[in-house]
Amino acid sequence: EIVLTQSPATLSLSPGDGATLSCRASQSISTYLAWYQQKPGQAPRLLIYGASNRATGIPARFTGSGSGTDFTLTINSLEPEDFAVYYCQQRASWPLTFGGGTKVEIK
Amino acid sequence: QVQLVESGGGVVQPGRSLRLSCEASGFTISSHHMHWLRQSPGKGLEWVAVISFDGTNRYYTDSVKGRFTISRDNSKNTLSLQMDSLRAEDTAVYYCAKEITNHYFDNWGQGTLVTVSS
């Protein structure tokens, strides 16, 4: 099973700040990685797939990058609605697995 | 628009069974692989099972193999998850989800809570 490790666990930032979230895979997964945003009481929302492709309707301030074992989600200039938990997910091999999440909270 | 609505959750004793359903609208499930995922209270996400668009292939996470069965009825645009021999650790919100492509999930239901407790 491929283990995804996200860091940091919590990011305390202010609106307007930039955010950098990391996801590291236990073995190479090429670019088979997605990022999701989840707010309390809601289902996750797909942000990025294939490591760098924005899903439909996702603002350009969300950028995904990386390949192999190291991936990054960058959020430029945080909006109030961006404070949430972010998960990465790999589809390189079964079982599909998720990282433990990074909570982006208001400082 | 695309909508997925789960139902069938509830409180069940360990060892008993429960069947979840997911009704899809706004798209035809016969064109998509469909998945079940779950999230334990206050915890992260876990993929549970997938069924291919035509129902010929199914994969499960190890912890539910032999206990859970995913199925689909394309004529009713519905996905199901039969859960047998339930354990306390199966307690979670269960989501059905549609693939955008290649096992990424672009549409999720609102989730249904399953609580396994005596």
For B11-36, the pLDDT digits (tens) are: 999 999 999 999 999 999 999 999 99
Give the Å distances, CA to CA, from B98 to B15, B39, B62, B78, B90.
29, 17, 21, 12, 22
Interface of A with B in 14-43 (CB under 8 A): 32, 34, 36, 38, 42-43
Q: A15 pLDDT exceeds 90?
A: yes
Q: B100 pLDDT exceeds 90?
A: no
Q: pLDDT tens digit string along A44-80?
A: 999 999 999 999 999 999 999 999 999 999 999 999 9
Among the listed residues B52, B64, B118, B59, the one whose alpha carbon sits nearest the alpha carbon of residue B90: B64
Q: pLDDT tens digit string along B61-78?
A: 999 999 999 999 999 999
In degrees and rounded to multiples of 5, residue A47 shows phi and psi of -105, -50
Residue B11 contacts by C-beta under 8 Å, 6 or more apart in sequence?
Answer: B115, B116, B117
Size of interface A-B (CB pairs under 8 A): 56
Q: A23 pLDDT exceeds 90?
A: yes
Closest-approach residue (CA) in chain A for B109:
A43
Mean pLDDT of the A2-28 span: 97
